Every structure is written in structure tokens, then in C-alpha cells.
């Protein structure tokens, strides 16, 4: 139900997005900037009150335990990666994800131990959003989701589709919530290292938006995104002020 609601909201936003014609400084990628900034403020309040304190507490858990929990979550996502590598024609990478899931689910005790990486089978993670992007589907508008952070329609919509595969689709509601909590806390712990950069930025909202797009392009192009046109780079620079 949660995934269906998110997908419905994203499709609605994608269908009615438009850039304000009377604002020459408007970012065409971010037609809902006013709404998104409100959600940014909400997320900051939520982070200060709940998420960051929880992440600080979680960071006190011994690192091997946190690593094992995260490995289990990542192992569940090998099946969607296998499907998406196959859809993108990355046959060798699809084979790697197949064997990673098989080895880590058995020898690695349900994924607790990443045995596959130790024998040279490194992650080949791909999502359905990246698959759609590889076929030329447009990103859609930038959206700041409450409690979830930045995304674009094709990225978050792809996550919803990836959640429909075995074994993720077979997880009970409470188990799936635990999966999301582990992923969220792990991500928030890692983000603590970037907090000084965010605090020093002139516009934290724009800083996070540009960081998100850089990460998204890296995912779509497997770490080798093409260079942006010079005028687009200038626009990104001025968006910070």
C-alpha cells in the first residue's frame, strides 16, 4: 500500500509538472521548488527531532553487527539488480548478481557475510529507474519527499517496481519496515561526515539538489557520466546563490 501511494503521487507530479513561465531564474528540473523547500524544512525538523538522534544511537552499535544487518538488506536487492542488469543487456553483470545472491544466501548465511565480494564478485547494483533512464525515459521533476529526501520521478518510481520482486515482495509488513529502517539509519550515519559541507553551503537546499543529481547521473552512467554542456554547468553554479 505504501509503495502504491508513493507511485501514485509521483505519477501525478510527473503529469502536471511545468516550469513557471514568469520566472527566468526557475530551475526547469525543479518545478515544485516552493513545495520542495517546505518539505526540506519539514525533513530538517524531523531529522533534528528523530532521525539524527536515532542514527547517532545506531552508530554506537558495533560496526560488524551494523555491517551484517546492512549486508542482509543488500542481499535482498540482488534479485532486482539481476533483472535490471538483464534488461540493460549487461549479461556479465547479471551473471555476477545471480552468483552473488546464490553464494551470499547460502555460504554467507542469508547474506550476513558478503562472501561473494571476498572472491572477486563485486556488486553490480542496478535499479529499474536506471533501466528506464538507459532506454531514454526522462527523469521527471525533482521532488523532496517528506521523510524520504530528494528524488526524481523515474528514480523513486523505479524503487517501487524493484520492491515487487522476490524475495522483497514476500516480506511481511513489519519485516519490510525493518529493512527500510536499517537502510535509512545506515545512510544517515554515512551522511554525518558531510554535515560540515552542508552547514557551510550558502543554500543547503540547492547543495543537496545538485549532490543528488550528480549521484543520480553517476548511477545511470555507471560512474562515467558525460560532461554537461558549459551553459548548463553555469546554470548549476548560479543556482547555488
For residue 7, pLDDT over 70 is answered with no
Average pLDDT over residues 26-54: 96
Domain with 73 in it: 2-8+29-195
The answer to whether position 185 is within a domain reads: yes
The answer to whether position 239 is within a domain reads: no
Q: Are 30 and 212 in contact (CB under 8 A)?
A: no
For residue 187, pLDDT over 70 is answered with yes
The answer to whether position 202 is within a domain reads: no
Other CB atoms within a 10 A radius of the CB of residue 76 amount to 22
pTM: 0.84
The answer to whether position 161 is within a domain reads: yes
Dist CA 95 CA 235 (whole Å): 41
Mean pLDDT of the chain: 89
Sign of CA dihedral 171, 173, 174, 180: positive
The answer to whether position 182 is within a domain reads: yes
> Domain count of the chain?
1
Residues 6+ apart with CB under 8 A from 139: 29, 133, 152, 153, 154, 155, 216
Q: What values do phi and psi take at 38, rounded to 5?
A: -65, -40
Amino acid at each position: 500500500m505504501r509503495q502504491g501511494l508513493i507511485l501514485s503521487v509521483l505519477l501525478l507530479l510527473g503529469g502536471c509538472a511545468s516550469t513557471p513561465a514568469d520566472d527566468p531564474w526557475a530551475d526547469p528540473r525543479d518545478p515544485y521548488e516552493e513545495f520542495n523547500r517546505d518539505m526540506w524544512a519539514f525533513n530538517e525538523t524531523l531529522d533534528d527531532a528523530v532521525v539524527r538522534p536515532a542514527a547517532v544511537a545506531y552508530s554506537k552499535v558495533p560496526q560488524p553487527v551494523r555491517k551484517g544487518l546492512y549486508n542482509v538488506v543488500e542481499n535482498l536487492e540482488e534479485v532486482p539488480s539481476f533483472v535490471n542488469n538483464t534488461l540493460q543487456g549487461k549479461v556479465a553483470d547479471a551473471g555476477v548478481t545471480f552468483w552473488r545472491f546464490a553464494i551470499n544466501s547460502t555460504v554467507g548465511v542469508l547474506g550476513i557475510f558478503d562472501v561473494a565480494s571476498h572472491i572477486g564478485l563485486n556488486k553490480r547494483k542496478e535499479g529499474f529507474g536506471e533501466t528506464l533512464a538507459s532506454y531514454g525515459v526522462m527523469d521527471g521533476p525533482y521532488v523532496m519527499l517528506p521523510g524520504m529526501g530528494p528524488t526524481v520521478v523515474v528514480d523513486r518510481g523505479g524503487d517501487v517496481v524493484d520492491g515487487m520482486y522476490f524475495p522483497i515482495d514476500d516480506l511481511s509488513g513489519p519485516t519490510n519496515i525493518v529493512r527500510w529502517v536499517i537502510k535509512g539509519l545506515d545512510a544517515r550515519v554515512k551522511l554525518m561526515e558531510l554535515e560540515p559541507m552542508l552547514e557551510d553551503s550558502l543554500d543547503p537546499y540547492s547543495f543537496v539538489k545538485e549532490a543528488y543529481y550528480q549521484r543520480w547521473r553517476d548511477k545511470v552512467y555507471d560512474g562515467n557520466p558525460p560532461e554537461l554542456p558549459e551553459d548548463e554547468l553555469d546554470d548549476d553554479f548560479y543556482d547555488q546563490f
